[in-house]
Homo-oligomer: A and B are copies of this chain.
Amino acid sequence: MTRQRALIFEIMQNHPGHLTADEIFALAKQRMPNIARGTVYRNLKLMEQANEIARLEMPAGPDRFDKTSVPHGHLYCDGCGELQDIPVVGLMRELETAIGTQVRSYQLTIHYLCPACRRKQAQ
């Protein structure tokens, strides 16, 4: 556990989530000016494999990262790209039953139009 890794970990913990690797890099750089981008990518990958964080593959642009806590899905607006968490109570257990074997993780992204974008489109 290096200073760099601890810093990245802390940033993840103190942040609501949905950060990109580069945003994390920028935050880290504020407190450790010569940390390298590659280090951030390497550590994020390690933390993902250790299930400490979850990688969200976005329909557009770079991946985003969430600290893993309560399992949840994501609501993605196809209009503006805004991303919201949605609780998906019991989905994981249901899936496990349906599949008949242990689920390691899942990613659920629901595409919709947020109220603002729906309004725009209606006009």
Contact = CB atoms under 8 A, between A and B. Distances in A.
B99 A86 contact: yes
Q: Main SS of chain A's interface residues?
A: mixed
A108 B107 CA distance: 6
Nearest to A48: B59
Nearest to A114: B101
Of the four ranges (under 10, 10 to 19, 20 to 34, 35 or more), the interface on chain A belongs to 20 to 34
Given A75-B99, A86-B98, A104-B111, 16 more contacts: A55-B59, A57-B57, A78-B104, A86-B99, A99-B112, A101-B115, A103-B110, A104-B112, A104-B113, A105-B110, A105-B111, A106-B110, A107-B107, A107-B108, A107-B109, A107-B111
Of A103, A106, A115, most B-chain CB atoms within 10 Å:
A106
